Structure 1
Amino acid sequence: MNEQVVVNENTAREMMQSEKKAYTIIGFPVPLFAVLAAVTLAAIMTGKLPGGMIGAFASMIILGAIFFEIGTHTPIINTYLGGGAIVCIFGSAALVHYNILPEATVEIMSTFMRGGGFLDFYIAALITGSILGMNRKLLIKASVRYLPAILGGVIAAMGAAAVVGAAIGFGAKEAMLFIALPIMGGGMGAGAVPLSQIFAQPLNLEPEGVLSIMVPALAMGNAVSIVAAGLLNKLGKNKPGLSGEGELMIAKNDVAEKEIVPEKELPLDIKLMGMGMLMATVFFTWGNFLGQFVPAIHPYALMIITVAVFKAFGWLPHKFESAANQWFRFIMGYTTGALLVGIGIAFTNLGQIIEAFTIQYIILVVVVVIAAILGSGFVGRLMGFYPIESSITAGLCMANMGGTGDVAVLSAADRMVLMPFAQISSRIGGAFMLILASFLINLFLR
């Protein structure tokens, strides 16, 4: 009897180990995912996809998972061009551009993204959870010393884009709004997408037209940033005085890296996630409500300011901050692929993107990234940072594609230890760019 128990325990242990080693796609074993994908794709191609959020979610999650797998395992794309995120957007846009997807399926996804509000739903979770999930001390201290370095990179990038844009005939205003802002804007979901919404109405343009110009800038900016990170690493080895070899501060004092630790996270809880969903939607509602009385500032920006104030002053108990962060992690972890497919379907015009790729465009992207490096490195040095580390975190981690771009840039620079600072750039820096965009768009329209 005891021997049987031991055999059963060993068998169970072996099965658990094999399950851990088994390759999965969005959590499913490949054979099971293949069945789910076959059913969904059959419904898509025969025009029998259910309407509403059921059909939209099923098709977008499946397509997102497939495109992510392609992007993750395709050389060059996975290293320099944003990997799965870019393949999701351009792959789904190509399905529409070349009339591969039935019109009924495109209509279901587009309606879900636009009229169904999935885009706003995602952004609300992203903004609320990412800010409330940050270390409070880090948020406060970053605003004193690290944010000026980010600002130095942003000002340099915007200024260089304006000067070069005017010189090569692209236009100073156009270069700032459609090239520099999206590159420095914190990625796709929290950057280019809300930026396109912010720009659309005041400029009397369609969001998809704006996004079609921004997406290639974002992709190219990410690629250039990764290459530049590797070059900065080599520069630091040749010029040791410019590099801290992974240490940001020249003289560690009140903003030491050891202070930047995640706040204690509560165990994952379904009820907490539900509470987080409510908080995200209410903060979003507040931003829109307040926007009725402060029309000069976009509701996204008002929402960001409100959430940041709540976090900085500690007005919410940690339980509720954790709830918002858990909801954000779920939404980001399982629906990002679906969102990117929706962006490709509903907001990305592949024809316009192809037209946007010009020599002028490429020159401007490279100029913006180089200016971000120089500006953040110079101001960072004034703030007491090593120029190389400041250029990588406050410059390149602003110019890349958010979280995935942070990993790629820091890997290329051999400075993964700087990830907390990279996250400030992607989260707080990206949020700052949305606020800046709201002011700039009103300034240009006066």
Structure 2
Amino acid sequence: MDYPSGAGTVPAVTDTPAPTDPAPAPARTGQPIAVWVLAFAAMVSFMGIGLVDPILKSIAANLDATPSEVSLLFTSYLLVTAIAMLITSFVSSRFGGRTTLMAGLVIIIVFTTLAGTSDSVAALVGWRAGWGLGNALFIATALAAIIAVARGGAEKAVTLYEAALGVGISVGPLVGALLGTVNWRAPFFGVAVLMGIALLAISLFLKDKVTVTHRIRPADPLRALGHGGLLVLGIAALLYNGGFFAVLAFTPFTLPYSAFGIGFLFFGWGVLLGLCAVWGAPWMHRRFGLTNAFIITLGVFTAILVALALTVDNHVAVTVLVIACGAPLGVLNTLFTESAMNVSPVPRPVASAGYNFVRFLGAAASPWICGKLGEEVGLSAPFWFGGACVIGGLLMIAVFGRRHLAAINARH
């Protein structure tokens, strides 16, 4: 939200000398503590995405599961997240942002704890689905909350949000690897503890400023997708996530590394993702314009996926390429989020819910499809699939999204 400058009114001219006005207070440039609390909580939430990466093979071994069965940990989590996105704005408009955030965290704490007690892959997949419900309530509201309380406008707020995403995604695999050396169940209990800390921080430091002034109905996110720009971005992000989760969910099965090896691999990937989300995306936007920034970065990601498919038996090449793809992914995450928040006239929580519903459908489908392709076709097949998805996203942007993105670019 924009804040007025610190300038006061000009005193009226009188016959007697006016007292000297005190110097105007300097504009506040730092962020309120509530922003950092929300960023920390978002970071912990995003840790859950990469947390299971280093222990996927351990889970498969301990629960006698195949790669495609283990990949359902991503699918159930993200499918429920996608569907639950449709009610997030309705819930937050009725109960307030703070209450919705805390409810999401409580649900995550309960289901991550239950996930740690699982004795079968089916039970673990089911508890991950419940985790996805809490995740939906939290992440959709967290973005709107950060935008509401941050100083410097929506663009700066989104940058903070994407920075939290990058840190969470990069640290998550390391936490998963570290705790996974104790037991494959330990990372789930670790997330429950971290979410408990985030819940305490929000209860203490976030005042209930995160309100939605519009009367929001459950069907409003679907109606919002009637706006061509939001729908195009949602479909493009759905396809992009096909490539994103080909890398995140299937790469561990192509490498002979231990949990620590996978953890450090995705730590490097996540660090590059976070850096490029914060600094790379604004530079690409300024340098090339929004549409061209999308097209260039989607093209680079496609090239990396093709290279992964061609070199999947070369462990050094796969390692380098996976880390390198963090750069285009960081740029794309920020470009997609900022564009979705600005492309339509609907309230941001509604736009976020509708957009996330569509894009998380792609995120839910990709891990299972990649697992089956890897089992039945070959190790390179998931990366060819991911590359084809990203090319589809590029075409959506280039053919159908250009006019909508040009309008955003003109306003900014």
Fold conserved between structures, TM > 0.5: no
Which TM-score applies when normalising by structure 2? 0.34
Which TM-score applies when normalising by structure 1? 0.32
| Larger RCO (alpha carbons 8 Å, 6+ apart) | 1
